[in-house]
Amino acid sequence: MNMNSENSAIIPGANFEQLFMPVTPENISENVFSLAGKIFPVITAGCVDNCNAMTASGGGYGVLFKRPATWCILQSTRYTLEMMLKFGSYTLSYFGEEYRDDVLFLGSKSGRDSEKMSEVNLSVIETPLGNVAFREAFLVIECKLVQVTTVHEADFYSEEAINYIGKVYKDPDEYRKYVFGEIRAVWEKRGG
Ligand SMILES: Cc1cc2nc3c(=O)[nH]c(=O)nc-3n(C[C@H](O)[C@H](O)[C@H](O)COP(=O)(O)O)c2cc1C
């Protein structure tokens, strides 16, 4: 539970649109390869009073079922994944370098057995769609959960992938879920 949440918890989206402006997926200012490869997104699921967030890497952007979509890769044991499945939606928040330590902190321990959401130096804020993101983010992408696919060792073909996945897949708990979400809204920080 995050103690930093504001009154925005009471009125969905209050304050949010003062901080963020809507943009279309086609008009995201940041190059999507930078978003997927250089800036670690924080994935957040839940509601302001009961949410969880984790640091991610990789993933991407494209079109799925004729709609703009994102995909990310989560280890099957992530508490955030559990929350994504429970709530059916989630956000990707992107932060500037000055928040690097906070972003990494959210990737350092699980919210299943810690209070990391109240320990992190970031403030949660409710989005107009009722999702949870962070005030300090420069970009927030709201997603509806569309597809979760479990991949297995035999699904990989390139040498790099086989080498990587061969090491990772010793333990079934390490299995990766490929998570696809429809982009429902994109928000960029005003004056950013
Ligand atoms: C830079 C960085 C990138 C990460 N990328 C991923 C990722 O793409 N997928 C994943 O499952 N875990 C990733 N992790 C690990 C999770 O963020 C970490 O295990 C986190 O504690 C999970 O929290 P949760 O159990 O509360 O969901 C990453 C961690 C860091 C620090």
User: Could you tell me if the CB of 76 is within 6 A of ligand 1?
Assistant: no
Give the residue, by CA position, lying nearest to ligand 1 atom 6. Answer: 56
Using an 8 Å Cβ cutoff, are 138 and 92 in contact?
no
pLDDT of amino acid 4? 42
Structure tokens at 116: 């990391």
Give me ligand 1 centre to Cα 60, in Å: 16
Tell me if 177 CB under 6 Å of ligand 1. no
Domains of the chain: 7-189 (2.30.110.10)
Tell me 153's DSSP state. G
Q: Ligand 1: distance of its center to the CA of 18 in Å?
A: 30
pLDDT of residue 48: 93
Q: Coil, strand, or helix at residue 69?
A: strand
Residues 6 or more apart whose Cβ sits within 8 Å of residue 111: 52, 53, 54, 79, 80, 117
Rounded Cα gap, residues 71 and 146, in angstroms:
10
Structure tokens at 74: 């989560």
Ligand 1 binding pocket includes 60 (Cβ within 6 Å):
no
- CA–CA separation, 121 and 54 (whole Å): 14
Amino acid at 74: L
Query: Which H or E run contains 170?
Result: none
Residue ID of nearest Cα to ligand 1 atom 5: 56
Residues 117, 146: Cα–Cα separation, whole Å = 26
Report whether residue 80 contacts ligand 1, using a CB cutoff of 6 Å: yes
Q: Is the dihedral of CA 133, 135, 140, 142 positive or negative?
A: positive
Rounded to whole angstroms, the Cα distance separating 66 from 64 reads: 5
Radius of gyration of the chain from its Cα atoms, rounded to whole angstroms: 16
Q: pLDDT averaged over consecutive 10-residue blocks of the chain (192 residues)?
A: 42 82 96 90 97 96 97 95 98 97 98 97 96 98 97 88 79 83 98 80
Contact (Cβ atoms closer than 8 angstroms) between residue 151 and residue 111: no
- 78 Cβ below 6 A of ligand 1: yes
pLDDT for 12: 62
